[in-house]
Chain A
Amino acid sequence: GENVEQHPSTLSVQEGDSAVIKCTYSDSASNYFPWYKQELGKRPQLIIDIRSNVGEKKDQRIAVTLNKTAKHFSLHITETQPEDSAVYFCAASGTGGSYIPTFGRGTSLIVHP
Chain B
Amino acid sequence: EADIYQTPRYLVIGTGKKITLECSQTMGHDKMYWYQQDPGMELHLIHYSYGVNSTEKGDLSSESTVSRIRTEHFPLTLESARPSHTSQYLCASSTLTGPYEQYFGPGTRLTVT
Q: List A residues at the B interface (Cβ < 8 Å).
A: 32, 34, 36, 38, 40-46, 49, 87, 89, 93, 95, 97-101, 103, 105-106, 108
Contact of B102 among A42, A46, A95, A106 (CB under 8 A): A46
Nearest-neighbor residue (CB-CB) of A98 within chain B? B50
Residues of A within 8 A of B43 (CB): 44, 89, 103, 106
Chain B residue total in the interface (Cβ 8 A): 23
Residues of B within 8 A of A108 (CB): 40
Given contacts A32-B100, A49-B101, A100-B45, contact A106 B50 (CB under 8 A): no
Nearest-neighbor residue (CB-CB) of B107 within chain A? A43
Stretch at the interface among B20-28, B66-74, B90-98: B90-98
Q: Which 8 A-B pairs have the closest CB atoms?
A: A97-B96, A43-B104, A105-B42, A46-B101, A103-B43, A87-B40, A44-B104, A32-B100
Nearest-neighbor residue (CB-CB) of B105 within chain A? A43
Q: Are A40 and B40 in contact (CB under 8 A)?
A: yes
Residues of A within 8 A of B2 (CB): none
B interface SS class: loop
- 21 A-B pairs with CB atoms under 8 Å apart are A34-B101, A36-B102, A40-B40, A42-B106, A43-B105, A43-B107, A45-B104, A49-B101, A87-B40, A93-B100, A97-B50, A100-B33, A100-B45, A100-B48, A101-B100, A105-B41, A105-B42, A106-B40, A106-B41, A106-B43, A108-B40
Given contacts A87-B40, A89-B43, contact A101 B102 (CB under 8 A): yes
Q: How far is the CA of A85 from the CA of B106 in the complex (A)?
A: 19
Q: How far is the CA of A44 from the CA of B98 in the complex (A)?
A: 19
Q: How far is the CA of A97 from the CA of B58 in the complex (A)?
A: 16
Residues of B within 8 A of A36 (CB): 102
Residues of A within 8 A of B31 (CB): 97
Nearest-neighbor residue (CB-CB) of A1 within chain B? B59
Residues of B within 8 A of A44 (CB): 43, 90, 102, 104
Nearest-neighbor residue (CB-CB) of A46 within chain B? B101
Q: Are B97 and A97 in contact (CB under 8 A)?
A: yes
Residues 40-82 of B contacting A (Cβ, < 8 Å): 40-43, 45, 48, 50, 58
